[in-house]
Amino acid sequence: MLKQIEGSRAVAEAVALCRPEVICAYPISPQTHIVEALGELVKGGELSSCEFINVESEFAAMSVAIGAAAAGARSYTATASQGLLFMAEAVYNAAGLGLPIVMTVANRAIGAPINIWNDHTDVMSQRDCGWILLFAETNQEALDLHIEAFRLAQALSLPVMVCMDGFILTHAYERVDMPSQEQVDAFLPPFDPRQVLDPARPVSMGAMVGPEAFMEVRYLEHVRQMRALELIPGWAEQFRDAFGRDSGGLLHAYRTEDAETIVVALGSVLGTIKDTVDEMRARGERIGVLGITCFRPWPANTVRDALAGAKRIVVVEKSIAVGLGGIVSANVRTSFAGHADTVYTVVAGLGGRSITRQSLARVFASAAAGTLPPLTFLDLDHGLVERALARERDTRHSGPVAEGLLRDVGLVAARIS
Amino acid sequence: MFQIRIHGRGGQGVVTAAEMLSVAAFMEGHHAQAFPSFGSERTGAPVVAYCRIDDREIRLREPILEPDAIIIQDPTLLNQVDVFGGLRREGYILINTSRTFEALGLGEFAAQFPASHLCTVPATEIAMKHVGRPMPNAALLGGFAAVTGRITLESVFAAIREKFSQRVAEGNIAAAAESFAHARPEKEELHHAQAD
């Protein structure tokens, strides 16, 4: 059924269609509307046989999800930013224990300086925690990925994060096709846990494991996650047959046939990139886009095949490994047969900085001309940076960086973008 | 693609206006995308919300830099924010005020645009009358329907009904209808003025 609704509402309704039995959450922008909507659905009786548990922190949210999943309940939570960091220890535990929890991450920057806007720094901090990481390009894909995530999680006994860009998707109203309960029931089998806490058949979960078997536990976790690379493509086809649209899968290639330049990105920025690529294609430039839907496990071979014909790769990423550069591009480099020097990193949109077609077209053209530096910060205000550096040169007591920059920038509220 | 930028202040329902506009367009079979300027909104602070309407899927996620229409919910922003930034030459301007463009000091600027694309509506007064609160958003959507013809008044009513409880919706529908009626004759007068 077609609806014009907010992304958060769409995800909440999709999660409800997956019949979770325990939802535990602590509110944090921009995740709040998702869990508020789910709370209403539980309270209003539309989502029955589900307990909604208000907890006192994100650490508690993940801990309750772990307990609920261990008891055999289909469990869901959602968070963002500092909330994800605060639950980090339990996030690793959920993966190590092999518990099929589904969590939405409404991607947001991490402080300091405190910033509520979108980027991918939050999820990238947890990229190697053992969870499967899926990234949504649109609100339609965000809701669809949750349905696929519950199936994937319970099939592999692994937790899955569905990442959607905070505000840009969570707070956007757009058209979505909401599936029926019957369609979701037919796609998502009942939860049959591989391990369950049952007084009648006692087991120990979370046993201490010494050097004699710890490596094997981690190895099996890796093997289990890599199994997702085999399952996801087939399930994406099943999803298309059942729901009539392409959502999920490992990657989305767009106009990459004969492309000399391929732009790689994750999440909602892919839409703006596709519009930019269309404009450049119309001018005769051979450029295409590769969207990474499944970031963990890393689909190395599929990425390598998709990039095989390209001369250069431009990775547009909303995160930075301080002291290294790109995170996504470091992954891409492992899966590109061409020279590593032809994989360019463009760090963009940090802390909610707008990513425009105009700026993207400029860096893509620069890459094609061979003039793009290996690491670029899109629309960095060089004047602002110079003033801060000058302050630091001029005086030892230059004070807090953020305060100095804000003073230089002036009144922000008067700006349009 | 038709792009609308709405300027107002926190608490005036700017984001809700963009959302209702997208719902109205959706009900007419269009693709529509509405999103806020993602600020940590505070009551009274300048707020921007955006709406795109198209007949194919909208993939673009950048803020609206070159709008086809601008709705200004609070005329006190005129001296504070570059509300007209990027407005296309054939663009529409709708301002919530009981004053004229000339009285607002915008006569010369407004003359660059087609007269029939300019409209002022005393939406706050109309909202006070029908809703009992200074919430000009729904009323302005009635004015938007009248001046642009991009959506019908009936779709605006339907979007209002979807967003609000019945009691609140009825007041807002009456406000939108009065704004529509207010904007229509004004538009016709301007047409005549242009013809003269």
Query: Could you tell me if A263 and A360 lie in one domain?
Result: yes
Confidence of residue B187 (pLDDT cuts 50, 70, 90): low
Query: Could you tell me if A39 and A179 lie in one domain?
Result: yes
A88, A128 contact by CB (below 8 A): no
Q: Look at residue B190 and tell me whether its pLDDT is greater than 80.
A: no
Q: Look at residue A169 and tell me whether its pLDDT is greater than 70.
A: yes
Smallest CA–CA distance from A360 into chain B, residue: B62
Which of B61, B80, B156 to mutate to test binding with chain A, by most A CBs within 10 Å of its CB?
A: B61
Query: Could you tell me if A7 and A86 lie in one domain?
Result: yes
Confidence of residue B193 (pLDDT cuts 50, 70, 90): low
Higher pLDDT, A73 or B186: A73
Select the residue of B15, B36, B82 nearest A416 (Cβ to Cβ). Answer: B82
* Set of chain A residues whose Cβ sits within 8 Å of the Cβ of B35: 167-168, 171-173
Above pLDDT 70, what percent of chain A?
98
Query: What pTM, to 2 d.p., does this model score?
Result: 0.96
The H-or-E segment that residue A88 falls in is: helix A88-97
Smallest CA–CA distance from B23 into chain A, residue: A4
Q: Is B46–A414 a contact, with Cβ atoms under 8 angstroms apart?
A: yes
Q: Look at residue B165 and tell me whether its pLDDT is greater than 70.
A: yes
Given this model, what pLDDT does residue B185 score?
72
Q: Is A275–B60 a contact, with Cβ atoms under 8 angstroms apart?
A: yes
- Work out the minimum CA distance from B114 to partner chain A, whole angstroms: 24
Query: Could you tell me if A132 and A183 lie in one domain?
Result: yes
DSSP state of A379: T
Q: Does A4 touch chain B (CB under 8 A)?
A: yes
Q: How many residues does chain A have?
A: 417
Short-list A44, A318, A47, A11, CA closest to A171: A11
Mean residue pLDDT across chain B: 93
- Work out the minimum CA distance from A174 to partner chain B, whole angstroms: 5
Select the residue of B19, B31, B86 nearest A175 (Cβ to Cβ). Answer: B31
Q: Is A414–B82 a contact, with Cβ atoms under 8 angstroms apart?
A: yes
Over range B90-114, report the average pLDDT: 96
Q: Does A354 touch chain B (CB under 8 A)?
A: yes
Query: Could you tell me if A27 and A146 lie in one domain?
Result: yes
What's the CA gap between A374 and A367, in Å, rounded?
9
A45, A71 contact by CB (below 8 A): no
Query: Could you tell me if A6 and A146 lie in one domain?
Result: yes
Q: Is A173–B38 a contact, with Cβ atoms under 8 angstroms apart?
A: no
CATH number of the domain at B99, please.
3.40.920.10
Q: Look at residue A167 and tell me whether its pLDDT is greater than 70.
A: yes
Confidence of residue A338 (pLDDT cuts 50, 70, 90): confident
Q: Does A1 touch chain B (CB under 8 A)?
A: no
Interface of B with A (CB under 8 A): 5, 15, 18-19, 22-23, 26-27, 31-40, 45-46, 48, 58-63, 65, 80-83, 85-86
Burial classification of residue B193, based on how many CB atoms lie within 10 Å of its CB (0-12 exposed, 13-18 middle, 19 or more buried): exposed
Over range B51-75, report the average pLDDT: 97
Given this model, what pLDDT does residue A349 score?
98
Q: Is A4–B86 a contact, with Cβ atoms under 8 angstroms apart?
A: no
What's the CA gap between A169 and A290, in Å, rounded?
20
Mean residue pLDDT across chain A: 96
Q: Look at residue A327 and tell me whether its pLDDT is greater than 70.
A: yes
Token digits of residue A53 = 């548990």
What's the CA gap between A244 and B53, in Å, rounded?
24
Which of B42, B62, B162 to mutate to test binding with chain A, by most A CBs within 10 Å of its CB?
A: B62
CATH number of the domain at A29, please.
3.40.50.970
ipTM for the assembly: 0.93
What's the CA gap between B28 and A310, in Å, rounded?
42
Which of A3, A4, A359 to mutate to test binding with chain B, by most B CBs within 10 Å of its CB?
A: A4
Query: Could you tell me if A341 and A412 lie in one domain?
Result: no
Q: Look at residue A241 and tell me whether its pLDDT is greater than 80.
A: yes
* Set of chain A residues whose Cβ sits within 8 Å of the Cβ of B18: 173
* Set of chain A residues whose Cβ sits within 8 Å of the Cβ of B5: 416
Q: Is B65–A417 a contact, with Cβ atoms under 8 angstroms apart?
A: yes
Q: Is B35–A417 a contact, with Cβ atoms under 8 angstroms apart?
A: no
Query: Could you tell me if A97 and A184 lie in one domain?
Result: yes
Query: Could you tell me if A409 and A287 lie in one domain?
Result: no
Q: What are phi and psi of A304, to 5 degrees?
A: -60, -45
Structural domain containing residue A260: 251-377
Q: Look at residue A41 and tell me whether its pLDDT is greater than 70.
A: yes
Given this model, what pLDDT does residue A57 score?
97
Select the residue of A2, A171, A354 nearest B63 (Cβ to Cβ). Answer: A354
What's the CA gap between A95 and B37, in Å, rounded?
36
Query: Could you tell me if A105 and A122 lie in one domain?
Result: yes
Q: Is B38–A167 a contact, with Cβ atoms under 8 angstroms apart?
A: yes
CATH number of the domain at A352, please.
3.40.50.920
Smallest CA–CA distance from A272 into chain B, residue: B60
Given this model, what pLDDT does residue B41 score?
66
Smallest CA–CA distance from A174 into chain B, residue: B33
Query: Could you tell me if A234 and A372 lie in one domain?
Result: no
Given this model, what pLDDT does residue B129 score?
97
Given this model, what pLDDT does residue A339 score?
86
Q: Number of structural domains, chain A?
A: 3
Q: Is B35–A356 a contact, with Cβ atoms under 8 angstroms apart?
A: no
Smallest CA–CA distance from A267 into chain B, residue: B61
Select the residue of A4, A268, A415 nearest B61 (Cβ to Cβ). Answer: A268
Q: Look at residue A414 and tell me whether its pLDDT is greater than 70.
A: no
Confidence of residue A341 (pLDDT cuts 50, 70, 90): confident
Select the residue of A167, A270, A357 nearest B62 (Cβ to Cβ). Answer: A357
Q: Which of A243, A271, A302 is the last residue of a domain?
A: A243
Q: What is the DSSP string of chain B?
A: -EEEEEEEEBTS-HHHHHHHHHHHHHHTT-EEEEEE------BTSEEEEEEEEESS-----S--SS-SEEEES-GGGGGTS-TTTT--TT-EEEEE-SS-TTTTT-HHHHTTS-GGGEEEE-HHHHHHHHTSS---HHHHHHHHHHHH-SS-HHHHHHHHHHHS-HHHHHHHHHHHHHHHHHHHHHHHHHHHHHH-
Q: Which residues pair with B93 in a beta bridge?
A: B70, B118
Q: Look at residue B184 and tell me whether its pLDDT is greater than 90.
A: no
What's the CA gap between B50 and B34, in Å, rounded?
6
Given this model, what pLDDT does residue A337 score?
87
* Set of chain B residues whose Cβ sits within 8 Å of the Cβ of A268: 61
Query: Could you tell me if A258 and A234 lie in one domain?
Result: no
B106-153 confidence digits (pLDDT tens): 999 999 999 999 999 999 999 999 999 999 999 999 999 999 999 999
Above pLDDT 90, what percent of chain A?
97
Return residues 200-239 of A near B (CB < 8 Å): none
Given this model, what pLDDT does residue B186 score?
58
Confidence of residue A69 (pLDDT cuts 50, 70, 90): very high
Q: Number of structural domains, chain B?
A: 1
What's the CA gap between B119 and A122, in Å, rounded?
45
- Work out the minimum CA distance from A220 to partner chain B, whole angstroms: 40
CB pairs under 8 A between A and B: 91
Smallest CA–CA distance from A351 into chain B, residue: B38
Q: Look at residue B43 and tell me whether its pLDDT is greater than 90.
A: no
* Set of chain B residues whose Cβ sits within 8 Å of the Cβ of A138: 59
Structural domain containing residue B173: 2-195
A111-160 confidence digits (pLDDT tens): 999 999 999 999 999 999 999 999 999 999 999 999 999 999 999 999 99
Given this model, what pLDDT does residue A412 score?
65
Q: Is B38–A354 a contact, with Cβ atoms under 8 angstroms apart?
A: no
Q: Does A118 touch chain B (CB under 8 A)?
A: yes
Q: How many residues does chain B have?
A: 196
Given this model, what pLDDT does residue A411 score?
64
